[in-house]
Amino acid sequence: MLVEKVATLQNRSMSIELTVAQAASSFEVLFRTVVARGVFSLGDDPTTLLAFMQRAVPLTSRTTGNDGSARWRDSHYTAPLLRWSGPALFTSRSVRIGDGGDSGAGNWAVMNFGAARGKGDFEARCEDVFSVGGAGSCTAGGFVYGMSVAVWGSATSSDCSVPQNWTLLYRLPTGPGIDMYNNAKGRWFTVGGSVSTSAGVDVYGKRAAYDAVPIKFVCVTMSA
């Protein structure tokens, strides 16, 4: 009986180690396909990305939508990029959160890394501006289609060139035609809506860590 219990525990241990190794391997594969990355800080104190987004773009703004006021024209929160690669995407060297286009209540992006105010329209100019959680059918803008964007978080590291110390928070496809991860449907500001905890890194959608894991740095990557 004791021998059987020991064997059972050994099998469980091997299974856990294999699962961890597979997850690490998947992250490494995803990082090897990255063609552009940008890192910014959420401040000195760790917080979840959900809590940060809720503070940055308050409920009053999300309820009224882009009304053309100064807070939308200038964006609700702006931070310089600490590190970046792929200058054709991260043209502004900064992130603007809750950045509004020229007009239209739904015309804004959760995160904008390109031209200020999305060249006027975060949906119609989807090809021209690298934005995440854009308007309408523009889930993630950028001039390259058939790619994927991942949002990562870390409490300790601003070096996003390697997967160590980084947690996957969100993954979404680039280009127009998909609206389920836009500023209204992507659950960027509300609890829940995450994919299964067993979902691989190749699955699109919000991860539970977005709501639950305290972080200080955010890295946004574009992968082939």
**Spatial distance between the Cα atoms of 140 and 180, rounded to a whole number of angstroms:** 11
User: Are the beta carbons of 65 and 122 closer than 8 angstroms?
Assistant: no
Over residues 127-151, the mean pLDDT reads: 87
**Spatial distance between the Cα atoms of 129 and 142, rounded to a whole number of angstroms:** 5
Is residue 23 pLDDT above 60, yes or no?
A: no
- Comparing 39-53, 128-142, 182-196, the range with the smallest average pLDDT is 128-142
Over residues 141-158, the mean pLDDT reads: 88
Is residue 172 pLDDT above 80, yes or no?
A: yes
Is residue 7 pLDDT above 50, yes or no?
A: no
144 pLDDT band, cuts 50/70/90, is low
pLDDT for res 16 = 33
Sketch the domain layout of the chain as residue ranges. 1-32, 34-223
Cα 35 vs. chain centroid, distance in angstroms? Answer: 16
pLDDT for res 196 = 86
Instruction: Please tell me the pTM assigned to this model.
Output: 0.86
Is residue 3 pLDDT above 80, yes or no?
A: no
pLDDT for res 6 = 31
Is residue 98 pLDDT above 50, yes or no?
A: yes
